[in-house]
Each structure stands twice: as C-alpha cells, then as structure tokens.
Structure 1
Amino acid sequence: MRIRARVRADNPVLLDLWHRSVRATHDFLNEDDIAQLLPQVRDLYLDAVDVWVYEDTDGRLLGFIGLSGAQVEMLFLDPRWRGQGIGTRLLDHARELRGALTVDVNEQNPRAHGFYRRYGFADVGRSPTDGQGRPFPLIHMALRGAD
C-alpha cells in the first residue's frame, strides 16, 4: 500500500470513488445536490487542488485527499474500506507535506466531524452555509497544537 500523487488518468476512478463515498456518508444531500456537484468535482475540483491517492498492492485506489495549501479540501474513501486507517494515513501524509492543517466539515456529517476530532482537530468556527451559499452549515476545524 502506498500514497502517491494523483495522475490525470486516475480521475475517472476518483470520481467514481467520490460518488460512492458521498452516497454512503452524505445522507443530507439529495440526488439533485449530488448531480449538481458531480460535474464540479469532475471538471474543477480534482484539478484545482493537490490530490494524493491511497493505492493498494494491486493498484486499486481506495481513497484520496485533496489539499489547497494546508486546507484539506476533500478526503474520500471507498466505503468498503472505511475504518481501516486509510483516512488517518492520508491525513498523516498531508501533515508531513503541509504541517498545520485545517478543514471544513459539513455539520450534517457527524461521522466525519468525529473522525477529525479523534485525529486531533478542534472546532474553530462555523458558517451557516457551505462555500457556494447552500444551506449546508460548515464547521471550521484546525489541528490542535499546530502553529
């Protein structure tokens, strides 16, 4: 198992992984929300951030993290592999690269919020809407003890 930089040829697999992960974890989104987000992820977000993928020994991509500076913009795992330490390994890799990390978590996604808290992030703020002004509140988090 290894973490490596995304190559453009990974994008279709990452988009499928994102789609399956969102359906498994973002039950506050309806089908229209997901349908609107999918082309944005495909056409904009994957290329707008630095993406690192978690690859198993057979070359299957099991998760990925997207960074903009020290901000974790996306962290998605194959739903079948949740709870196996992949998210933690991806965050560890991001910390090695960028040091102090921040992340925004959907308030309606308590599992993700709990995951980041267990990792060591603390709540530092809240926004009533997401970055696109939709009614999905965000919890702003920063790694505790990070300079």
Structure 2
Amino acid sequence: MIQNKKATVNDYEMIINLWERSVMATHHFLSVKDKEEIKKELPMYFPHLDVCLWYIENSIIGFTAINENHLEALFLDPDKMGKGYGKQILEKCINRFGITSVDVNKQNAYATRFYLKNGFGIIGEDLTDGAGRPYPILHLKYKEQQK
C-alpha cells in the first residue's frame, strides 16, 4: 500500500536525486544547461510547497509538490514507472489533497497522456515555461472542475 509523509529539509538531496533520475528518463527535450539550472532552482521552491514523499514498504517511489489545489510536481523513480504507482498517487492527491489542476511540459508526451487518461483536460497553453525557457506548458484541469 502506498504511503506518504511530508518531506523535510533533510529529504531535499534525496528528492533532487530522484527528480534528476526521473527527468533523465522522461524529459529528453530539456537541454543539459536547462536541466542543471532547474536542478539548482528546486531547493528554493520546496519551502513554499507541500512536498510529500511517497513510498511502499520503506522504499521511496516518488514525490509530489502541491501549492493549494495545484499539483506542481509528481515525479517517480524511473524503476517504478508504468506500474500503476503514479495513478495511485494522483488519485490520493485528488481525493485527499483536493488537487484540481496541473501543468505539464507539452513535449513530455508520456506525462501528458498520463494526465489526460486520468481525468484531466487541457484548458490552456503557454509557449514557454515559467522561467521563460522555450518549453511549451499545457495547463490542465480535473474534468469534474471544468464545469
């Protein structure tokens, strides 16, 4: 059974390592320079978000970062992808934490399909990410919230 716990400052290094492994497996479109810049920026965001570690039997499978009802991040260990863990985590984020929206890199087809398959719909798009980098961002809303 998937469990979660709130991350602390002591978890940041592990989270960043997990993020890096996940990005290497899914974000092939990012330049090396941009990956390094984003990696350095991550710790600045964590204190402003509700960051949770997700695990099974004391084995970390991923992390989420939430800002109010917006899912800022859901990253899985690459070895845990495609096994249903992401869906279980997303369902808990929706049902337990009230997630109603998420943004996703348009070039990350795997993540885009994942969110669309799990009840989200595209409501908008930006041509660049939040830092102005040339990576289009799709804005998604949970379908029950689109009315």
TM score, norm. by length of structure 2:
0.92
CA distance in 1, matches of 2:56, 2:13: 17
1:128 aligns with: 127
Q: Is the 8 A contact 1:56 1:62 kept in 2?
A: yes
Out of 25-34 and 97-106, give the one that drifted further: 97-106
Matched residue of 1:20: which SS?
helix
Q: 2:62 corresponds to which residue? A: 63
Corresponding residue for residue 47 of structure 2: 47
Q: Which amino acid aligns with 2:44?
A: L
Alignment match, 2:11: 10
Residues 54 and 100 from structure 1, CA distance in 2 versus in 1: closer, same or farther, beyond 3 angstroms?
Answer: closer
Query: Unmatched 5+ residue regions in structure 2?
Result: none
Q: Determine helix, strand or coil for the equivalent of 1:145.
A: helix
CA contact (8 A) 2:71 2:99 kept: no
How many residue pairs get aligned? The number is 145
Paired residues of 1:54 and 1:86 also in contact (CA < 8 A): no
Q: Which runs of 4+ in 1 moved over 3 A?
A: none
Query: What residue is the counterpart of 2:24 in the other structure?
Result: 23
What's the % identity of the aligned pairs? Answer: 33
Whole-angstrom distance in 2 between the partners of 1:14 and 1:84: 20
Q: CA deviation at 1:95?
A: 1.3
Correspondence for 1:88: 87
Paired residues of 1:13 and 1:61 also in contact (CA < 8 A): no
Classify 1:100/1:11 alpha carbon distance in 2 versus 1 (closer, same or farther; 3 Å).
closer
Report the residue type matching 2:62 in the other structure: G
